[in-house]
Structure 1
Amino acid sequence: MKFITNHQIKIALGASVMLAFVGCSFLKNSTSASSTDDLSSNNPVLSQENVTVASDFRTTTVLEGLERPWSIAWLPDGAMLITERPGRLRIARNGNLDPQEIAGVPEVLAFGQGGLMDISLHPNFQENNLIYLTYSHGSESANHTRVARATFDGSALENLEVIFEVDPVKSAGQHFGSRIVWLPDNTMLVAIGDGGNPPIEVDGDLIRKQAQNLNSHLGKVVRLNDDGSIPSDNPFVGSADADSAVWSYGHRNIQGMTFDRANNRLWSTEHGARGGDELNLVEAGENYGWPEVTHSEEYTGGEISSERSRTGMIDPKVVWTPATAPSGLAIYTSDRFSQWQGNLFAGGLISRDVRRIELDEEGNVRSEESIPIGQRVRDVRQSPDGMLYVLTDEENGQLISIEPEGE
């Protein structure tokens, strides 16, 4: 059993002055947040003074020896499938990591922030054995995010097919997005990043502006059927001015996304630039502002936009400045830890912690506290048996469980 010490807490909070080489949120030198405990006020900007540090929890290191792990999925027999960003799919059984990687993984472009990223099982996996992967594909000068599916026979992937790929292609190795979430109707949502920071361009203009271009997949959440086809009730189906896969737009780089089935809500966390990370309640057809409306600043200094809110665009529920570099998001639904039911858990690459976010019935944020991990947190998941786990984005990445003390 591994317990968090006061020294680790100081390290974790001090780490908020570090820059992430994989996440794209840099720290802002000052904040405009007021020191109020009411996080559901009209001003969603938070400073570190708003966030208390949890002390009533414990952590246990379950697995070590993972290279830049990105995502985890549980098989029906309790085994865990874990992606490693360099391009490997691993399996762990009974707490032991199999040294042999899973065969049949597609070739990935492991470059910059790209590589093998999310993994998700089809909701009917026990009947069809289908597994879905997101990964970066192409070259350093022309690449994009792909979604592929394959059948898993217990030791290898078979019948792999690419069911969706992002258009347009881009240069450089930034902002692939890449979380997968399943809706109750067995359609899937996939988060796609905006393509990168200045000076990266597409069609002669800054690539980040693609987030407002409805004919582009960049800076979007797309909704697909399980075979990659487009659902007929997507919000822009039939529009000559929009790609029919688009479900929501105006996003920068979502790396945390989860669906609250109890309340039929989709939550996401996305990276800002220099500050301005966001927690959003995402709805079909809506515009989340980037880069026309943002709390972020340019990495070189100065405003990206003078607007923080605009009619017709959806405001975030929380803005984190300084940045946490959010990656991995889960909503806790089990009664195993009843005090956590309905809470969001958001991982942070820069903050090196997990933020426990308490919501009210309308989906407003009531409070937030930091659970220090002391490593870059890449993913946060609830297991089928009600445990909460994080993956750490390190050369020697770990799978760590979190639970309240006294349980």
Structure 2
Amino acid sequence: MKSRSRLVLGALGLLALGLAAGWMARVPSGPVTPTGAVEDAKGWRAVDVVAGLEHPWALAWLPSGEMLVTERPGRLRVVRDGALVSRPVAGVPETIGQGHGGLMDIVLHPDFGYNRLVYFTYGAGTMEANSTRLARGRLADDLSSLTDVEVLHTVHPLKAGAQHFGSRLLWLPDGTLLLALGDGGNPPNRVDGELAREQAQKRDSQLGKVLRLRDSGSVPADNPFVSEPGVDPHVWTLGHRNIQGLARDPASGRIWANEHGSRGGDELNLLVAGGNYGWPRATYSIEYTFGTISPHTSLPGMIDPVVVWTPAHAPSGLLFYAGDAFPEWRGDLFSGALKRKEIRRVDLDADGRVLGQESIRLGARIRDVRQGPDGFIYVLTDEKNGRLLRLEPEPGRE
């Protein structure tokens, strides 16, 4: 049975209305109580599946049962029958394999069984001028190579350094694709003479945004700002620092995102089209140097976070669990954590209200969290010798 309240956060009814309407700018709901350490989750065990992955970033299942795993230095790997295929998939474009950059997220086209198309993101350019790119390629039947690789979108403006590429992907039921992007980096990084983070509030910039694109990379006609002069038509939401996880509740259609704050102030957000999520005008974060980023945690016309993690959680992959292996966890969110080396289970009720949180402590930086076809939870650890783990019910659990 689900645990009951420790952290009940209001105003989600307005957000649900915003989802139905397509966009909204919500009246602030007031302060959010940051959460730090929580109790440990029970009734699970972690099983090693594969080792020897170099800073793995994302995984995706093929209909035939194999897994595709991206490695940040720029390799695409195949896991078959519980073993890592020795030779990487050929045809992956050259990438910036430094800092946060490299080969990042990967998803299959919804019609993969027909077209064999794989979509992926990677950092491209130089340390002085780089960006996130969205590309696709056709996976060979024998899984040895990608062919017909084409860049569908190059994020603008260009930025310097190797921080805040963002890069999570999420297909929507209408066949459009969400692409989450970072703000360009921490101070002293600058874009067009201003601190890079200011890009998150600039509506003609794609940095610090979630974009919505067609599968061809073009702009959907019903994007929230498509008719507004001076606003980039790809923009779906704005005011983000660096989203690292996207997940959708298939029953309600709610779309969740977790994103990094600076020093503390990491956020779990409920995304609605056209929403402004505040960064850096409203934030629970402070500077890494302990200075103030903003005196505001909430502002009119900006959407407040649902959960704030302080001290830093350093969120990564995000999963909305809908499987049968852990029936008591069905309908909950699972947020990976790089800094805390855990997965945070966020206990939700049917209306999307947060009831509480628990920690699945794994002792390694967590980069991605996914539900497998078997209903188990699969996890990638962000290490030089990274691992693929499977979370299973503890033996003997009733």
Question: TM-score scaled to structure 2, two decimals?
Answer: 0.91
Residue aligning to 1:67:
54
In the alignment, which residue of structure 2 is the partner of 1:336? 325
Residue 11 (structure 1) aligns with? none
1:271-318 per-position Cα deviation (integer Å, ceiling 9, x unaligned): 000000000000100000000000000111121000011111000010
State yes or no: 1:91 paired with 2:78: yes
Shift of 1:43: 4.2
SS of structure 2 residue aligned to 1:296 = coil
Answer yes or no: is 1:79 the counterpart of 2:66. Answer: yes
Deviation digits for residues 250-274 of structure 1, max 9, x if unmatched? 0000011111121111100000000
CA contact (8 A) 1:182 1:259 kept: no
> Does residue 157 of structure 1 match 2:126?
no
Amino acid at match of 2:229: A
1:217 paired residue number: 206
**Paired AA for residue 6 in structure 2:** D
Count of residue correspondences: 371
In structure 2, C-alpha distance between the alignment counterparts of 1:98 and 1:364, rounded to whole Å: 42
Counterpart mapping for 1:236-255 below 5 A: 236-255=225-244
Stretches of structure 1 lacking an aligned partner (at least 5 in a row): 1-35
Residue equivalent to 1:46? 34
Q: Are residues 1:381 and 2:370 paired?
A: yes
Structure 1 residue corresponding to 2:289, chosen from 300, 322, 344: 300
The aligned counterpart of 1:125 is 112
Question: SS of the residue aligned with 1:111?
Answer: coil
- Report if aligned partners of 2:241, 2:280 keep a CA contact under 8 Å in 1: yes
**Residue 290 of structure 2 aligns to a residue in which SS?**
coil
Report the 3-state secondary structure (helix = DSSP H, G, I; strand = E; otherwise coil) of the residue aligned with 2:380. Answer: strand
Q: Distance in 1 between matches of 2:7 and 2:166?
A: 30
Q: Which amino acid aligns with 1:280?
A: N
Equivalent residue letter for 2:386: G
Distance in structure 2 (CA, Å) of the matches to 1:98 and 1:282:
37
Paired residues of 1:72 and 1:119 also in contact (CA < 8 A): yes
Structure 2: give runs of 5+ residues left out of the alignment: 11-29
> Are residue 109 (structure 1) and residue 96 (structure 2) matched?
yes
Residues 194 and 207, structure 1, Cα contact 8 Å, conserved in 2: yes
Corresponding residue for residue 15 of structure 2: none
Task: Show the counterpart of 2:186.
Answer: 197
Runs of 4+ in structure 1 over 6 Å off: none
- Asked if the contact 1:83–1:89 (Cα under 8 Å) also holds between the matched residues in 2, the reply is yes
SS at match of 2:328: helix
- Partner residue, 2:349: 360
Is the partner of 1:45 in helix, strand or coil? Answer: coil
Q: Which amino acid aligns with 1:110?
A: G
| Distance (whole Å) between structure 2 residues aligned to residue 404 and residue 283 of structure 1 | 34
1:318 has 2:307 as partner = yes
SS in 1 for 2:263: coil
Aligned-residue identity in percent = 55
Who is 1:327 aligned against? 316
Any idea what the Cα deviations from partners look like across 1:58-111, whole Å, max 9, x if unmatched? 110111000000000000011000000000000010001001000000110112
Please give the alpha-carbon distance, in whole angstroms, between the structure 2 residues aligned to 1:341 and 1:56: 14
Give the letter aligned to residue 34 of structure 2.
L
Root-mean-square deviation (CA, aligned residues, Å) is 1.2
Measure how far apart 1:55 and its partner are.
Answer: 3.1
Q: TM-score, normalised by structure 1?
A: 0.89
Matched, 1:137 2:124: yes
